[in-house]
């Protein structure tokens, strides 16, 4: 999906997304919040529990993750980056006091080397051609500080319900899903270290009482989504 397609769906993102995920039994806000909570818990489980102070939300769209970043990382400076000016306008109208909304050309992140403690993407890379992944990950590596973290959440193409949701979603019409192990290898090839892979979302909203058990299933490649995390050394 290119810039014009993102612009086209910016105003109706929430409505389209909510329709698309109705079988999950969850809301758009649930999917946004759980990711940031996972990021927070990843930092909390590290030996040195130092939260990021400079965060880049790569492909932030209309800023869906913004209030959740503010909740879990209240002291951080948040930058929302996207190719879609229309999406950024929507984000600014909702969260202008919570984040800086910045456009970019889809290739070069407009910030100096070693700027961010954390670069994060929520289901963005399946909109990007495989051939462009390596170059963008090198840009991530350039703009992340030594010791900083990269985290990518993605849809899992091994989960049939996820594949159906993507295939029937208007703004995923040109999606190219990527397997977790493939993305992990690509991050390693780009120069990241300590690359980890965790699968998520195994039970629907109607069975959410069972979700605490999911922490024992993060190795199983059948979750609806997954995230890959890594360090720049």
**Nearest to residue 177, comparing CAs of 194, 154, 207, 195?**
154
CA distances from 167 to 58, 163, 171, 172 (A): 23, 6, 10, 7
Burial 130-154 (b: 16+ CB within 10 A, else e): eeebeebbebbbbbbbeebbbbbbb
The whole domain housing 118 covers 3-231
The number of domains in the chain is 1
| Least confident residue range of 11-25, 78-92, 132-146, 200-214 | 11-25
Round to whole Å and give the CA distance between 224 and 123.
12
pLDDT at 208 (0 to 100): 83
Would the pTM of this model clear 0.85, i.e. be above it?
yes
- 18 pLDDT above the threshold of 70: no
- When pLDDT is averaged across residues 141-161 and rounded to a whole number, the result is 96
Q: Compute the average pLDDT of residues 112-136.
A: 96
Sheet strand arrangement including 100-103? 100-103, 77-82, 54-58, 116-122, 144-155, 225-231, 193-200
Residue 166 has pLDDT above 50, yes or no: yes
pLDDT score at 6 = 53
In this structure, what CATH number is given to the domain that contains residue 143?
Answer: 3.40.50.150
Look at residue 1 and tell me whether its pLDDT is greater than 50.
no
Pick 210 or 172 by higher pLDDT. 210
Percentage of the chain exceeding pLDDT 90:
71
The pLDDT of residue 227 is 98
Question: With 60 as the cut, is the pLDDT of residue 163 above it?
Answer: yes
Mean pLDDT of 28-38: 90
């Amino acid at each position: 999906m290119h810039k014009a397609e993102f612009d086209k769906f910016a105003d109706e993102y929430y409505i389209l997304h909510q329709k698309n995920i109705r079988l999950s039994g969850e809301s758009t806000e649930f999917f946004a919040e759980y990711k940031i909570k996972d990021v927070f818990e990843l930092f909390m489980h590290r030996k040195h529990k130092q939260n990021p102070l400079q965060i880049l939300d790569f492909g932030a769209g209309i800023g869906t993750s913004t209030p959740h970043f503010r909740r879990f990382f209240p002291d951080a400076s948040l930058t929302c980056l996207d190719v879609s000016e229309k999406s950024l306008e929507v984000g600014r109208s909702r969260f202008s006091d919570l984040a800086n909304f910045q456009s970019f050309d889809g290739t070069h992140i407009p910030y100096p080397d070693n700027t961010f403690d954390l670069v994060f993407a929520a289901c963005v890379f399946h909109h990007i051609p495989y051939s462009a992944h390596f170059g963008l990950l090198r840009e991530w590596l350039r703009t992340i500080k030594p010791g900083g973290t990269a985290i990518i959440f993605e849809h899992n193409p091994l989960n049939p319900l996820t594949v159906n949701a993507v295939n029937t979603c208007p703004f995923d019409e040109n999606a190219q899903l990527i397997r977790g192990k493939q993305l992990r290898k690509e991050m390693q090839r780009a120069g990241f270290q300590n690359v980890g892979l965790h699968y998520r979302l195994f039970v629907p909203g109607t069975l959410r009482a069972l979700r605490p058990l999911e922490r024992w299933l993060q190795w199983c490649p059948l979750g609806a989504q997954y995230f890959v995390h890594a360090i720049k050394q």
